[in-house]
Chain A
């Protein structure tokens, strides 16, 4: 039995209709949009929080052509394993997530900071503002860090997060995802995004995933199950590569650390 939608909030059918209308409009326009839309009304919190003026184009200069440096002083290698931060084993499907971070020319982003955060297997964040009545796992915080290696690769061991409800509209559920925060070799390449899992039935219903209106661009956020990453009698494996915007530095300026 479904609970009736209160009259003062949108239903999933309302939101889905808005998503589909924007999608039709996008298809008809025929201009490819690789990035997310800042103005995407089905995601209600964006309505008062998106700029309405065109972004001001500048040539990056000075410090914008360089990124902050993070190193071994900043990150303990153990922070890449989210399953060993407490005394016991966390509940859920242990998994390895790995991939490469490159710039738009395919050059590896070396020795740079990657941060992730996520809900636990039951879809509950440790964050005090998460009111979802699912269990907190005393053995799982859901935050990890690592540095990419010389090839631009990162790797985390974690627990597969669960989907969770939110208050965008009645009976709104987020597809399972892991938040990723990335730095490049330039300030201009800063990226925060979300990684999703293949075949999630909530994709079509979720206005945050759909705020990327191009289907191929959305697909770039979906990891691939990779049995070569899966560990015998230990963890399933997913691969997700990340491309930052093109670097403004020329190749000969690139330092080999």
Chain B
């Protein structure tokens, strides 16, 4: 059986009271010694920040394992669920407090939503040096507490957005 997927629609301008939640961007407490920060800004085709975007992260644990624990919506401060959600602020900035993903070619899998964006976009923020040779875009850059990864929805230096091959 093969069913046609339901089409996407924009997240619109009014998700702010519904989708973001307390602790959404804090996959671990920032006081944890191994906590890192993944942050960046979302820009439109004119280079202006997008203050009404939503970014979700999904990642492996530091040992490369895939978290399969509930609790992302009500965090207990100890369980690493590997998933988080953060709205951009007035300057287009998103931020996650998380752990460094492990594995052979580690990356943060990111999903981007915004008013004006008709469907979600997927990308990978590879750790510095972790991207395969065929990856056509920049990796995340290291900073003093973690990694920076800007998302450009349109333009010359547009982010590499993904489509997944079907079987």
Contact = CB atoms under 8 A, between A and B. Distances in A.
B62 interface: no
Given A143-B18, A188-B122, A193 B74 contact: no
A35 B164 contact: no
A6 interface: no
B148 interface: no
A70 B12 contact: no
Contacts of B167: 246, 248
A64 B5 CA distance: 18
Contacts of A231: none
Interface stretch (A9-17, A20-28, A36-44, A150-158): A36-44
Contacts of B109: 63-64, 187
B72 A68 contact: yes
A43 B116 contact: yes
Most interface-central of A143, A181, A211 (chain B CB within 10 A): A181
Contacts of B72: 68, 70, 74
Interface stretch (A89-97, A99-107, A197-205): A99-107
B58 A56 contact: no
Which one of B18, B113, B163 has the highest number of Cβ atoms from chain A below 10 Å of its Cβ? Answer: B18
A55 B162 contact: yes
B24 to A, nearest CB: 12
Contact of B70 (A37, A74, A116): A74
B154 A48 contact: yes
B50 A106 contact: no
Contacts, number: 228
Contacts of A181: 19
Nearest to A39: B118
Interface residues of B, number: 67
A142 B115 CA distance: 19
Nearest to B73: A74
B1 A73 contact: no
Contacts of B59: 63
A71 B154 CA distance: 36
B7 A63 contact: no
Interface string B86-127: 000000000000000001000001010111111111100000
B6 A49 contact: no
Interface of B: 1-19, 44-46, 48, 50, 56, 58-60, 66-74, 81-83, 103, 109, 111, 113-122, 136, 153-155, 158-167
17 contacts: A48-B154, A50-B154, A53-B158, A56-B136, A56-B162, A57-B163, A57-B164, A63-B60, A73-B71, A73-B73, A105-B3, A106-B1, A125-B17, A126-B17, A190-B122, A211-B118, A243-B5
